[in-house]
Amino acid sequence: MNNEFYMNLALNYAWESQALSLPNPSVGALILDSNNAIISLESHQIYGQSHAELKALKSAYIKLTNNKELENINNPFEIYDFLIKNHNGIFHNTSIFVTLEPCNHFGKTPSCAELLSILKPKKIFISAPETNNIASGGISTLRKNGISVECGILENMGRDLLFPFLCMCNNKSFSIYKIAQRLNGSFDGGIISSEFSRIYSHKLRNIADRIIISQKTILNDNPLLDSRLINGKSPDIIVIGRENKLHKNLNIFQDSNNRKVEFISNINAIPFDGFNIIEGGAELFGILKNKIDCLLVFISPQIKSGSNFYSDFNGRILHSMKMDKDILLWIQKS
């Protein structure tokens, strides 16, 4: 097994929770013991909670020491303090692969670079450098503390993983158009995606600032547009159309979480700040395709007659992965 193999594992694992940590980046971390056996593989999944490196160190500590005391500690600062006080040099012969340069500052979570400098693993492999000036400097901190660091392992793939985060940093906005379709491209006629895929969609809804949808889709499908599969929140909704065209007994008006439902008929008046999920058919896609950053395409292994997307679009596949019986594509707009 070479370094690219282990980094690829960390990258793929991070993609499984892509965008769930926004406005933070999706990051994966993998730790090998002295025999090059994988002892932990983790990712950053929730904003404000433990980063991938801290989660991987926690898991590795429990496995190396068989000390279960750390299992019930979830506060990142408490994990940080516990590892500093109790590591006893157990990480000295480990190698760590991380998809992004470890953060070098204290904020909602402690500095991963400082913790690693204290724990002193044998070597750290990094895919992509940190681009945020606030968090950068981790590589320098590690090297100053005598830790061997190798950078640029599958760097282009590491940068692709950062795309949603970089959109948020540079534009204060990240907008995806979510499509669920069959092998022949048809997208209508009831539920298409597997429950596994729909759970991931609900996780994204749970952190979204808003869902943007057309009046036509509301009338045709009467969707709930909530996060019920994970008991999450119901995001605010922007309906492109006029309120007097919709009955108040539709599902979007029945939510008990007091979410905001706003009607906008002027496309140029739609706010796109923050994280936006656009859901709808071919007509809405044609109207808003210049506003999106990524397509999120769930492809189900079915063939059924129905409507297809007919609008032109050029993109680049950032990542593809299996989601239960489905295939998920992250496609960046070219």
Structure tokens at 64: 């190396």
Question: Would you state the pLDDT for residue 97?
Answer: 99
- Whether the per-residue pLDDT at 135 is higher than 70: the answer is no
CA dihedral 71→72→76→81, nearest 10 degrees, is: -80
- Whether the per-residue pLDDT at 251 is higher than 80: the answer is yes
User: Could you give phi then psi for residue 96, rounded to 5 degrees?
Assistant: -120, 130
- Whether the per-residue pLDDT at 286 is higher than 70: the answer is yes
Question: Would you state the pLDDT for residue 26?
Answer: 98
Question: Would you state the pLDDT for residue 302?
Answer: 92
Query: What is the residue type of 127?
Result: S
Q: Which of 176, 216, 190, 179 is nearest to 310 (CA)?
A: 179
Query: What is the residue type of 9?
Result: L
**Rounded to whole angstroms, what are the CA distances from 246 to 16, 214, 217, 222, 281?**
37, 11, 11, 10, 18
Asked if residues 274 and 172 have their Cβ atoms less than 8 Å apart, the reply is yes
Provide the residue ranges of all domains of the chain, joining segments of one domain with +: 3-167, 172-333
Question: Would you state the pLDDT for residue 241?
Answer: 86
Question: Would you state the pLDDT for residue 94?
Answer: 97
Query: What is the residue type of 262?
Result: E
Domain at 3-167: CATH code: 3.40.140.10
Query: In terms of pTM, does the model score above 0.75?
Result: yes
Structure tokens at 117: 């400098």
Q: Side by side, which strands form the sheet with 123-128?
A: 38-43, 28-32, 95-100, 123-128, 148-151
Question: Would you state the pLDDT for residue 205?
Answer: 97
- Whether the per-residue pLDDT at 243 is higher than 80: the answer is no
Per DSSP bridges, beta strands 95-100 and 123-128 are parallel
Task: Kindly give the residue spans of alpha helices, DSSP state H, lying in the chain.
Answer: 3-15, 52-65, 76-86, 112-119, 138-144, 155-161, 163-171, 195-207, 215-221, 282-288
**Cα–Cα distance measured from residue 43 to residue 20, given in angstroms and rounded to the nearest whole number:** 10
Q: 36 by DSSP, 3-state: which? A: coil
145-195 residue pLDDT tens: 999 999 999 999 999 999 999 999 999 999 999 999 999 888 887 888 999
Percent of the chain with pLDDT over 90: 78
State the chain's mean pLDDT as an integer. 93
Domain at 172-333: CATH code: 3.40.430.10
Question: Would you state the pLDDT for residue 247?
Answer: 82
38-58 residue pLDDT tens: 999 999 999 999 999 999 999
How many whole angstroms from its chain centre is CA 156?
18
Question: Would you state the pLDDT for residue 190?
Answer: 80
- Whether the per-residue pLDDT at 220 is higher than 90: the answer is no
